[in-house]
């Protein structure tokens, strides 16, 4: 009898263990592992995905999203996830590289802001633009051997650059060649002629860029005969100032545009896990409702403000200008790497006096000595604004989310915009 009871108990334990393991495996299969970039996206994905999503930003706390480049190890980690969701609005300089790495992997790569209209963005007729570029290329053979034009490939091209950025490229050939004499040629949109770039005599190209250019690599033999040549590549300047036509990427501080991003997240999660459509939709509606409340709170804050000018560390608040009437006086450009000129510094100090401004708005992830100098020069106090790109370790430890940080932003604005 005891033996029978022992066998029954053993069987029950084994069955229970198998069921637990099966349930755990089922949970793993029904949970999406997602990498993302911007903090606001990470928070929205977490809230909409809920129990069915494990999401993590590749940015460390306080990273500058404009300039951060993930390590090789971090890029490899992306390939282990179910999806890589990024903004797609020009904030991530490494996006094109990530797409190339993940092209042959079983990873969904989604630019969540692809259909969001950006401030300062121009509407282009892409067919005309492509045709014009094709015509330009056809008109200029430059006497190099066209049969060799595709035998050099260039790696390291970012989707866009800011003025003053360092460009690092590497050219390589598909097969062994007899040449070891490397030359690089460039031309601008306003120039018809290719010009040899001084100081670039190896397969590696390093230099700064201040305007959009075309670039190509040429390999010659000892007799200076061309043996291989790359197709021209585009190095596109986008300072997010509206002049390039690509637009301002700081959509995350706009709660209405953030609703579009959240909806794109919802649709992406449904595509990846369609059986949870109802769950994702309900969570999205809750996020949407909270964003609409943030919009109302911001509108009330600016309506009640005694001042409508604010000195900010960098020009990340243009969407508040368009939607609520704020006049930002930015020390740096739309990228923190854009330093102000001497005359611009004088203008900022004069504006502080003209509008009787007593505060300078700093950001958690942007360190600026120039902003500190201006603060000292005008005798101003400081406030901190969260631009929703990345957050501090302290905010992470305190469990802050997009909405609690927006409340802190509103409190800071109420202080800075009062006389």
Domain CATH for 211 = 2.60.40.10
Question: Which tens digits make up the pLDDT trace of 168-222?
Answer: 898 888 666 666 788 999 998 767 789 889 889 898 999 888 778 889 988 888 7
pLDDT beyond 50 at 24 = no
Residues 230 and 266 in one domain: no
pLDDT band at 95 (very low <50, low <70, confident <90, very high): confident
Alpha-helix runs per DSSP H in 305-337 = 318-324
Tell whether 292 is covered by a domain: no
Tell whether 35 is covered by a domain: yes
Query: Comparing 128-142, 149-163, 245-259, which segment has the lowest mean pLDDT?
Result: 128-142
Q: What is the pLDDT of residue 369?
A: 83
Residues 94 and 148 in one domain: no
CA distance 181 to 207: 19
Question: How many separate domains does the chain show?
Answer: 3
Query: Comparing 11-15, 139-143, 220-224, which segment has the lowest mean pLDDT?
Result: 139-143
Residues 116 and 258 in one domain: yes
CA atoms within 13 A on the CB side of 79: 13
CA distance 349 to 360: 11
Residues 340 and 380 in one domain: yes
- Work out whether strand 381-385 and strand 359-363 pair parallel, antiparallel, or are unpaired: parallel
Tell whether 129 is covered by a domain: no
Tell whether 182 is covered by a domain: yes
pLDDT beyond 50 at 282 = yes
Which residue segment(s) compose the domain that 225 sits in? 139-235
φ and ψ of 284, to 5 deg: -60, -45
Tell whether 290 is covered by a domain: no
Q: What is the pLDDT of residue 172?
A: 83
Q: What is the pLDDT of residue 295?
A: 97
Residues 229 and 254 in one domain: no
What is the three-class DSSP state of 153? strand
Residues 153 and 259 in one domain: no
Q: Which residue has the tokens 């009062």?
A: 418
Question: Greater confidence, 77 or 258?
Answer: 258
Residues 151 and 87 in one domain: no
358-361 contacts: CB < 8 A, separation 24 or more? Answer: 358/416, 359/310, 359/311, 359/383, 359/415, 359/416, 360/311, 360/312, 360/313, 360/331, 361/310, 361/311, 361/312, 361/313, 361/385, 361/412, 361/416
φ and ψ of 272, to 5 deg: -80, -30
Tell whether 242 is covered by a domain: no
Q: What is the pLDDT of residue 244?
A: 46
Residues 112 and 259 in one domain: yes
| Mean pLDDT to the nearest integer, 12-35 | 59
Q: What is the pLDDT of residue 131?
A: 40
Tell whether 284 is covered by a domain: no
Q: What is the pLDDT of residue 46?
A: 98
Residues 316 and 403 in one domain: yes
> What pTM was computed for the model?
0.68
Residues 89 and 113 in one domain: yes
Q: Which residue has the tokens 């706009």?
A: 254
- Domain closes at, from 209, 235, 261: 235
Residues 268 and 334 in one domain: no
CA distance 322 to 328: 11
pLDDT beyond 50 at 281 = yes
CATH number of the domain to which 311 belongs: 3.40.50.1980
| Mean pLDDT to the nearest integer, 77-89 | 93
350 to 310, 311, 377: CA distances (angstroms): 13, 12, 11
pLDDT band at 143 (very low <50, low <70, confident <90, very high): very low
Tell whether 343 is covered by a domain: yes
Residues 160 and 253 in one domain: no
């Amino acid at each position: 009898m005891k033996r029978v009871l022992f066998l029954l108990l053993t069987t029950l334990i084994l069955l229970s263990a198998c069921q637990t393991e099966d349930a755990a495996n089922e949970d793993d299969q029904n949970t999406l592992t997602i990498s993302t970039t911007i903090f606001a996206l990470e928070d929205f994905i977490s809230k909409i995905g809920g129990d069915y999503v494990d999401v993590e930003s590749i940015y460390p706390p306080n990273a500058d999203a404009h300039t951060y480049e993930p390590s090789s190890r971090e890029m490899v980690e992306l390939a282990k996830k179910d999806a890589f969701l990024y903004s797609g609005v020009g904030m991530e300089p490494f996006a094109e590289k990530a797409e190339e790495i993940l092209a042959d992997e079983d990873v969904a790569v989604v630019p969540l802001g692809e259909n969001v209209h950006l401030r300062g963005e121009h509407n282009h007729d892409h067919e005309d633009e492509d045709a014009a570029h094709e015509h330009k290329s056809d008109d200029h053979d430059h006497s190099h051997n066209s049969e060799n034009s595709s035998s050099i490939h260039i790696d390291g091209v970012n989707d866009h650059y800011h003025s003053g950025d360092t460009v690092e490229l590497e050219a390589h050939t598909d097969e062994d060649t007899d040449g070891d004499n490397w030359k690089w040629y460039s031309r601008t949109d306003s120039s018809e002629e290719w010009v040899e770039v001084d100081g670039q005599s190896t397969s590696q190209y390093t230099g700064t860029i201040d305007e959009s250019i075309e670039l190509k690599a040429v390999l010659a033999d000892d007799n200076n005969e061309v043996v291989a040549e790359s197709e021209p590549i585009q190095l596109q300047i986008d300072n997010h100032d509206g002049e390039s036509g690509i637009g301002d990427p700081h959509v995350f501080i706009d709660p209405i545009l953030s609703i579009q991003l959240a909806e794109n997240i919802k649709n992406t999660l449904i595509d990846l896990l369609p059986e949870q459509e109802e769950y994702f939709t309900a969570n999205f509606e809750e996020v949407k409702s909270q964003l609409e409340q943030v919009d109302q709170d911001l509108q009330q804050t600016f309506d009640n403000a005694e001042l409508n000018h604010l000195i900010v560390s960098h020009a990340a608040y243009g969407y508040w200008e368009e939607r609520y009437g704020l006049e930002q006086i930015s020390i740096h450009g739309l990228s923190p790497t854009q330093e102000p000129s001497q005359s611009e510094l004088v203008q900022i100090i004069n504006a502080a006096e003209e509008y009787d401004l007593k505060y300078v708005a700093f950001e958690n992830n942007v360190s600026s000595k120039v902003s500190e100098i201006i603060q000292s020069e005008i005798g101003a106090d400081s406030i901190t604004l969260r631009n929703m790109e990345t957050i501090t370790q302290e905010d992470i430890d305190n469990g802050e989310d997009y909405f609690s940080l927006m409340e802190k932003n509103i409190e800071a604005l109420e202080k800075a915009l009062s006389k």
